[in-house]
Amino acid sequence: GAVVSQHPSWVICKSGTSVKIECRSLDFQATTMFWYRQFPKQSLMLMATSNEGSKATYEQGVEKDKFLINHASLTLSTLTVTSAHPEDSSFYICSARDAPGDTQYFGPGTRLTVL
């Protein structure tokens, strides 16, 4: 099946710094990518939807200036956590699909720890 990769798989950073997470579709074109966040022992919560070449659409309660999403190509989307704080520590997972109705494929996730 289709493969989605994320990089890095884990990252530790100091409070106040910015962290970029990449999500790549390896063998298909990802017209749309989704970003989720999962706090320990909780469910996945959708943060935003990004369509290639367009601005991302954020879910209610998600700060777009803090979580910058770029989807400049059909195989790559990036999530930048700006001025990270300990409460941003979480597991971030992306998913990707080509056309509406297509199966979404999930990446392996990135574990972010902010000290």
Three-state DSSP state, 103: coil
Task: Select from 37, 90, 97, 112 the one that contacts another protein (CB under 8 A).
Answer: 97
Q: Which is nearer to another protein, 97 or 114 (CB)?
A: 97
By CB under 8 A, tell whether 91 contacts another protein. yes
By CB under 8 A, tell whether 73 contacts another protein. no
Residue window 25-54: x/- pattern of binding to another protein, with contact defined by CB under 8 A: -------x-x-------xxxxx--x-----
The CB-of-79 to another protein minimum distance in angstroms stands at: 16
Q: Are 15 and 114 in contact (CB under 8 A)?
A: yes
Using H for helix, E for strand and C for coil, what is the string for 58-89? ECCCCCCCCEEEEEEECCEEEEEECCCCHHHC
CA-derived radius of gyration, the chain: 13
